[in-house]
Structure 1
Amino acid sequence: MASPSAFSGDVVFAVRRRQPELVAPAKPTPRELKLLSDIDDQQGLRFQIPMIQFYGHKASMKGKDPVQVIKKALSQALVFYYPFAGRLREGPGRKLMVDCNEEGVIFIEADADITLQQFGDILQPPFPSFDELLYKVPGSEGVINCPLLIIQVTRLKCGGFIFAYRLNHTMSDGAGIVQFLNALAEIARGACEPSIAPVWRRELLSARDPPRITCTHREYEQVPNNYDPIWTQQSITHQSFFFGPKKLEAIRQLFSPYNSQYVSRFEALTAFLWRCRTKALQLEPNEVVRFFCINSIKGKSNPPLLPLGYYGNSFVYPAAVTTAGKLCENSLGFALELVKKAKAEATTEYIQSVADLMVIKGRPCFIMPGSWFVSDTSRLGFRDVDFGWGKALYGGSATAGAGPFPGVSYYVACENAKQEEGMVVPFYLPLNALKRFVQEMEQVLGQP
């Protein structure tokens, strides 16, 4: 994929880094092999995902160094979350497992000659000089035999700091990593142990014996060349959009004529953006397009399928499938019904069927051509993670995309300069399509 565009604010700053080091658990931990679930180790999750948290200055923390506080807490947190200090191995049938060998998490200490204010009115991707805020340690970016977690804490001139990290996605989903971050933060604030004990239990989302596919999984359909040609263009750009409360309500009102039932903010925003995005790409009318609804199955069964403290991947992404012509020519209500249908398919039986499919079909990747994924992380609590300096000013995804696939957007809870709560949504799109995307949104909403 072509390189994303430069930061629009033209912010330039220098970062001084110390040599990366390995942080191991503070006490001896069990030496063992722990199998991942058959949801964890599918091909589509075998990548590292970058995340970022911004924190402001806090007068009551004067004299305390966030780097040292977090590094010490990390070694203590790894006593409880010791698999993060291990390394992945691959067994027969491409089965992934964690070698819990206490090798450690990569930790980087840094200083930057910039203040939080210089990042702009709204903290949102793309962030300036992000590779400086999360250094790509040589040899660390793989999946097998590589660090499972890389953390960089960068002090800022204003007294704030940035906590950036890269997670091997096979280990945890958004809810799982927030659970770990809260454990780390609790210990940083003085706790002896996490308030929620971590639970491994990955066998709960492993294939049945014998495995059997009981649902239709259009997200894993096989195609001759599983790559979308739009990403071969040279002018791929990265931009985020902020949707404040007034705009979110205006979008939801667009759907009032189509459905007398309740329409959630997620459903309205997603149907609106999917249709605008598809129109902007100017695809052939008969070209197949897919929307993938990343949907956790936690809380969807009684009794719960997964225990409190489970921090593995626990989501599926059922696909809504149509053609570009149908999506663009029909009303917004057509897109809404497709989104609702995909969202409703995420049941406990569906996730069990996915686990079985992984074993039967060799852990395939999702289908990429014509696909757009949405992951709503706005309610996971990234901004609530408090290392002692208060809640994060921004917390969540550092970029759009997922590993080598750019067609993923995240809904991130955010606050603008007017202190209005809303959502930031990052996109990767060809430059010309991005311009048409903005025009389409403005035309439908009747506002800039």
Structure 2
Amino acid sequence: MSNIVVTKSSPLLVGPSEPGTPTGSTRLSWFDELSGSSPVSLLLVFDKPIANPAETIRRALSRALVHYYPISGRLAAGSADGDEVVTYTGEGQGVLFVGASASCAVDDEAMSAAPLLSDLYAHYPDELCPSHTDPLLLMQVTEFSCGGFAVGVTWNHIFADGTGIGQLLQAIGELARGMPLPSVAPVRWDESVMTARPRVLTLADVEFLTDEDDMVFLDLTIPPSLIGRVKAEAGSDSERCTVFEAVVAVLWQCRARAVSVPEGHAATSLMFGSNVRGLVSAAEGYYGNCYISESVQATSAHVANSDTKDVVKLIKATKQKLRGAMTKNNDDDGVNSVQQQRLSAYNTLGVSSWRNIGLDAADFGGGRPSRVVLYAMQDIVPFFVLCPPCKGKDGVNVLSRMLKKEHVDRFLHELEALTSTERV
């Protein structure tokens, strides 16, 4: 893969296509502020060609920004209370857009090559913390030698979560296919979201990974047979086990078995985000941040030695606390801190789900993506992401950087043992 060349055009700023698009400032919510100013990147890979993909998508993006015009703006200081806002003036602003071509075809090997993946995105100058002068969204469209193409998206998390970006990408796709308007009217200001007060998961007591803690990239598919067995074992007539709970329980347990811990009572923590649009009655089409982070804590020995169904119960019990984690009281200070006990970085595992949030529904004219790929700019803690299945494959695609090299073989052995046995 070392001979692959990605040729990029000069970046340009894309703004709304129609004159008279509204300008002004958009206040950020508590959810936005708690997400922080950090970059997130994803890649949509398409194996079916469309005519002039970069130009087609650039024009559709410009049309979409008429409706999603705040995304063209920049972060700015708000009123005297110090709150941040997003301000769109229409002058010298917009989404940064890059067209590119790659001297290879779309295939699994190419999509697993880290150097190539890095070239399929536009990057912030400071990849760890976008500045107030940086665009909120960067987009690169790369055409491959086979005619397929990839859409790399990097955005500042302070302005939107994965669900919001999925909605935007669907809108761009609809306009690229000739629809006059997006099918979902976007909403960026919603009083229900603005008055909600999420609970804070404090990470001050979690050690972060260092440059020496190199995590191995794994591209896995969890088969439907294993998912089905865990769901059947852990579910009941009154409460079903979800795909998320089944897959996360399996991976957390296999990892705990693979990573030898000197003391069986050592703490391990699983952190995941949950979409709470329904809990706060967010308007349809709201595309800002609207999620909270949850943490499941247990001993490594408990996770490793329990039945998988009991690990599911740990995850389910934490998810059921979500309703109590929110308050509508405007007099509340908005912060109900949840402290974690001191944890090493390697005993802390992050998980995110990109299933069912619309990323795989984007269609720019040649059909839905053949796969959705995570690109990690920085490893803060070991993590894995649940992605929609790759085209032609069943089950759940999992992309991870959660294991050091010395633990990979044992982890894969444990996963294979769970997959092949009738006992879960």
Q: Does 1:165 align with 2:153?
A: yes
Q: 1:71 aligns with which of 34, 53, 58?
A: 58
Instruction: Identify the residue that residue 199 of structure 1 maps to in structure 2.
Output: 187
Alpha-carbon separation, structure 1, partners of 2:131 and 2:320: 32
TM-score, reference length from structure 2: 0.86
Relative to structure 2, which stretch is displaced further, 77-86 or 274-283? 274-283
Q: 2:246 aligns with which of 263, 268, 282?
A: 268
Cross-structure match for 1:7:
none
Q: Which runs of 5+ in 1 are unaligned?
A: 1-9
- CA-to-aligned-CA distance 1:346-383 (integer Å, 9 cap, x gap): 22x52448999885589999997432232222222322
Q: In structure 1, what is the equivalent of residue 408 of structure 2?
A: 434
Q: Which residue of 2 aligns with 1:425?
A: 398
Q: In structure 2, give the amino acid aligned to 1:166.
A: T
Paired residues of 1:399 and 1:426 also in contact (CA < 8 A) = no
Residue 256 of structure 2 aligns with which residue?
Answer: 278
CA contact under 8 A between 1:55 and 1:392: conserved in structure 2?
Answer: yes
Q: Distance in 2 between matches of 1:332 and 1:245?
A: 16
Given the alignment of the two structures, is residue 48 of structure 1 paired with residue 48 of structure 2, yes or no? no
3-state secondary structure, aligned to 2:389:
strand
How far apart are the structure 2 equivalents of 1:12 and 1:245? 37
User: 1:65 and 1:366 mapped to 2: Cα distance?
Assistant: 53
Preserved CA contact (<8 Å) 2:96 2:137: yes
The sequence identity of aligned pairs, in percent, is 25
2: distance between equivalents of 1:366 and 1:354? 28
Kindly indicate whether residue 300 of structure 2 is the aligned counterpart of residue 324 of structure 1.
yes
**Quick one: distance in 1 between partners of 2:211 and 2:143?**
37
2:354 maps to 1:377: yes
Q: Give the TM-score of the pair, scaled to structure 1.
A: 0.82
Shift of the 445–190 alpha-carbon distance from structure 1 to 2, 3 Å rule, reads closer
Conservation of the 8 A alpha-carbon contact between 1:293 and 1:339: no
Q: Report the alpha carbon displacement of residue 326 of structure 1 after superposing the two structures with TM.
A: 2.5
**Larger CA deviation: 146-155 vs 365-374:** 365-374
1:270 is paired with a residue whose SS is: helix
Separation of aligned partners in 1, 2:234 and 2:287: 36
> C-alpha distance in 1, partners of 2:268/2:366?
44
CA contact (8 A) 2:353 2:386 kept: yes
Q: Which residue does 1:237 correspond to in 2?
A: 216
Residues 422 and 330 from structure 1, CA distance in 2 versus in 1: closer, same or farther, beyond 3 angstroms? closer
Counterparts of 1:329-368 in structure 2, within 5 Å, are 329-347=305-323, 349-352=324-327, 359-360=334-335
In structure 2, the CA distance between the partners of 1:439 and 1:423, relative to structure 1 (3 Å rule), is same
Alpha-carbon distance, 1:251 to partner: 4.2
Change (3 A) 1:359 1:196: same
Q: What corresponds to 1:388 in structure 2?
A: 365
Rounded to whole Å, the distance in 2 between the matches of 1:364 and 1:36 is: 25
Note if contact 2:276-2:291 (Cα within 8 Å) is conserved in structure 1.
Answer: yes
Query: Which of 257, 266, 269 is the equivalent residue of 1:290?
Result: 269
CA contact (8 A) 1:29 1:82 kept: yes
Alpha-carbon deviation of 1:279?
A: 2.6
1:85 to 53, 72, 76: 72
- Does structure 1 retain, via aligned residues, the 8 Å contact 2:123–2:138? no
Range with bigger deviation, 326-335 or 354-363: 354-363
Pair 1:95 & 2:68 matched? no
CA distance in 2, matches of 1:129, 1:192: 36
Aligned residue identity for 2:27: L
Match of 1:113 among 86, 103, 111: 103
Q: CA deviation at 1:115?
A: 1.1
CA distance in structure 2 between the aligned counterparts of 1:367 and 1:142, rounded to whole angstroms: 29
Contact kept, 8 Å, 1:37 with 1:204, in 2: the verdict is: no
1:309 match: 285
Q: In the alignment, residue 121 of structure 2 is paired with which amino acid? A: L
Q: CA RMSD in A?
A: 3.3
Asked if the contact 1:400/1:409 (under 8 Å) is kept, the reply is no
Structure 2 unaligned spans of 5+: none
Q: Secondary structure at the match of 1:68?
A: helix
Q: Does 1:29 align with 2:21?
A: yes
- Relative distance call for 1:155 and 1:362 in structure 2 (3 A) is same
Distance 1:362 1:147 in 2: 31
Matched residue count = 412
SS in 1 for 2:32: coil
| Equivalent residue in structure 2 for 1:142, among 107, 130, 143 | 130
Q: How far is the alpha carbon of 1:196 from its aligned partner?
A: 1.2
Whether contact under 8 Å (1:245, 1:420) holds in the other structure is: no
Q: Give the deviation of 1:93 after TM superposition.
A: 6.4
- Judged with a 3 Å threshold, the aligned counterparts in structure 2 of structure 1 residues 255 and 124 are, in CA distance, closer, same or farther, namely farther
Structure-2 separation of matches of 1:32 and 1:344: 39
* 1:39 aligned partner: 31
